[in-house]
Every structure is written in structure tokens, then in C-alpha cells.
Amino acid sequence: MSPRAQTELDRQIAASHRRFAKSMEERTATMSVETKEAYFAILTKLVGKLEDPDKQMREIMQEMMAEAMAEVLHMIQG
């Protein structure tokens, strides 16, 4: 990937992060307490993993898929 394309991709990622944060801030106002708790549990696990500089993104995603699935299934069935 060229440096210019990589810079553009970095810009797009940053813009998506901003959109994500804004969207979730708007949604939390209408979420039930149970949904907020489940979201917070998943988000906290993800952030903790992302803060570990020794973890590769692939490893983080594999772990999160396994860990978040239980929360998602609980929400769907709930």
C-alpha cells in the first residue's frame, strides 16, 4: 500500500471512530440498564485488550469473538 493510500485509510479509520463514538453516545440515552451493562462489559474487555501493546489485533479479535458471543446471545435471548 502506498504511503498516500495508507494516510487516507488512517484518516477514514479516525473518521469512523468519531462516528462510532457519537452514535453510541446518542444510543446510550435510550438503552435499558441491562443493555448498557452488557455493552459496558464488552467494551471494557475490548479496551483492556487494545491497551496491551503485546497483543496482536488478530489475537484480540479472536478473543473478543469468543468472549462477546456469550453476552450477545444473552441479550438476544433476554
Q: What is the pLDDT of residues 29-57, one digit of tens each?
A: 999 998 899 889 899 999 999 999 999 99
Is residue 34 within 8 Å of residue 78, measured between CB atoms?
Answer: yes
Q: Quote the pTM value.
A: 0.76
Predicted confidence band of residue 4 (pLDDT cuts 50, 70, 90)? confident
Contacts of 53 (CB under 8 A, 6+ apart): none
For 26-47, letters b (16+ CB in 10 Å) and e give eeeeeeeeeeeebbeebeebbe
Cell of 51: 491497551
The one-letter amino acid code at 19 reads R
List the one residue out of 34, 39, 37 whose CA is nearest residue 24: 39
- Predicted pLDDT of residue 51: 97
